[in-house]
């Protein structure tokens, strides 16, 4: 698994933070979700001692950052974990986002791009454009249509376990940016955390951007993420010619405070026209205030939730 960081103001030169071939661990607390956690034969589940060390290290890092104090530290750019689309990769998404969004947007964000936990089980839809390897976050059950057919999946439990350890090891993160399958995961993760069903030892997800996303309906435990309106400020990208448009519209209704950028393209990371850019800048202003207001309390919350 590669993790690529695109620091603010240096979007053309990503820095590789870590590399690992490890499969997803069984670290997320899924008992309350009733999701069976089955590791592949090549995976090694982390010991309780390893999870405690990771969380202790996260608390220490956050405490050091908090101790720096001052307005400069508090007003850092939002740090977002970016989740790529179906059977693509961290590097592909980095090229899509950095190549299509203007610097006045990307320079205000600290973007970290992660590979999914599974190698692609089939052909990639971008094989004619981008080189392998290709990854996926989970496996769809059946075909995702453009209608109202529910989105069902398998191995989402392992995906969430994988993301929890990644976010402990490389965090804290302020929010999520997801495209396609990565947008589906971003919405589920945010909803489950708000419901108190997962990711309780991590900093609160304070913003989420979803492009070409949708609501997972199965397994039923994942659908609990949408049992009530998600309060996290959200930004949705919906394409007029996207085959997942109906699912994206449904996902907008799952959030209490959504902003929407509509574009004429299909299933893609879109360029921003003048109207879209203004909506994006409005959203960035909003989440920056949200993050700065909570920066002084995140360390205490994470330490309290991670004890034990």
> Among 23-32, 168-177, 281-290, where is mean pLDDT lowest?
23-32
Nearest to 144 by CA among 208, 213, 240, 191: 213
Task: State mean pLDDT over 278-286.
Answer: 98
CB contact set of 128 (below 8 Å; sequence gap of 6+): none
pLDDT value of residue 69? 46
Ranges of H-type helices in the chain: 48-68, 70-74, 90-100, 103-106, 156-170, 181-194, 220-223, 245-252, 274-294, 298-306
pLDDT tens digits, 212-250: 999 987 778 788 999 999 999 999 999 999 999 999 999
pLDDT value of residue 209? 98
CB contact set of 305 (below 8 Å; sequence gap of 6+): 200, 201, 202
Which of the two residues, 83 and 30, has the higher pLDDT score? 83
Contact 114, 145 (CB under 8 A): no
pLDDT exceeds cutoff 50 at 285: yes
pTM: 0.78
pLDDT value of residue 153? 82
pLDDT value of residue 58? 52
CA distance 216 to 88: 20
One-character DSSP codes across 72-117? HHHTPPPEEEEE--TTB-HHHHHHHHHHHS-HHHHTT-EEEEE--S
> Among 45-54, 164-173, 193-202, where is mean pLDDT lowest?
45-54
From residue 157, how far is each of 28, 33, 171, 198 by CA, in Å? 8, 9, 20, 11
pLDDT value of residue 2? 63
Q: How confident is the model at residue 271 (pLDDT cuts 50, 70, 90)?
A: very high
Where are the chain's structural domains? 79-141+149-306
> Among 36-45, 162-171, 207-216, where is mean pLDDT lowest?
36-45
Nearest to 1 by CA among 82, 87, 89, 111: 89
pLDDT exceeds cutoff 60 at 253: yes
pLDDT value of residue 49? 53
Task: State mean pLDDT over 266-291.
Answer: 96
CA distance 141 to 13: 37
CATH architecture label of 79-141+149-306? 3-Layer(aba) Sandwich (3.40)
Measured in whole angstroms, the distance separating CA 271 from the mean position of its chain's CA atoms is: 20
């Amino acid at each position: 698994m590669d993790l690529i960081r695109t620091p603010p103001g240096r979007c053309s030169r990503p820095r590789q933070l870590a590399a690992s071939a490890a499969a997803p661990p069984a670290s997320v607390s899924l008992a309350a979700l009733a999701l069976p956690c089955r590791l592949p034969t090549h995976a090694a589940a982390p010991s309780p001692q390893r999870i405690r060390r990771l969380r202790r290290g996260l608390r220490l890092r956050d405490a050091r950052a908090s101790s720096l104090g001052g307005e400069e530290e508090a007003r850092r750019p939002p740090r977002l974990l970016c989740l790529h689309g179906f059977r693509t990769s961290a590097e592909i998404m980095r090229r899509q986002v950095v190549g299509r969004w203007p610097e006045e947007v990307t320079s205000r964000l600290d973007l970290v791009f992660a590979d999914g936990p599974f190698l692609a089980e089939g052909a990639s839809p971008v094989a004619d454009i981008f080189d392998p390897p290709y990854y996926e976050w989970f496996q769809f059950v059946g075909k995702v249509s453009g209608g109202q057919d529910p989105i069902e999946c398998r191995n989402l439990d392992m995906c969430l376990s994988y993301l929890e350890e990644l976010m402990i090891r490389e965090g804290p993160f302020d929010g999520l940016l997801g495209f396609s399958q990565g947008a589906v995961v971003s919405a589920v993760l945010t909803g489950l955390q708000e419901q108190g069903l997962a990711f309780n030892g991590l900093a609160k997800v304070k913003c989420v951007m979803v492009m070409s996303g949708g609501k997972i309906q199965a397994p039923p435990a994942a659908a609990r993420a949408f049992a009530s309106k998600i309060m996290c400020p959200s930004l949705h990208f919906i394409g007029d010619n996207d085959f997942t448009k109906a699912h994206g519209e449904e996902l907008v209704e799952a959030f209490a405070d959504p902003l929407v950028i509509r574009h004429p393209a299909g299933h893609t990371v879109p360029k921003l026209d003048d109207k879209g850019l203004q909506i994006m800048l409005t959203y960035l202003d909003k989440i920056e205030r949200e993050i700065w207001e909570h920066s002084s309390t995140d360390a205490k919350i994470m330490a309290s939730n991670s004890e034990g």
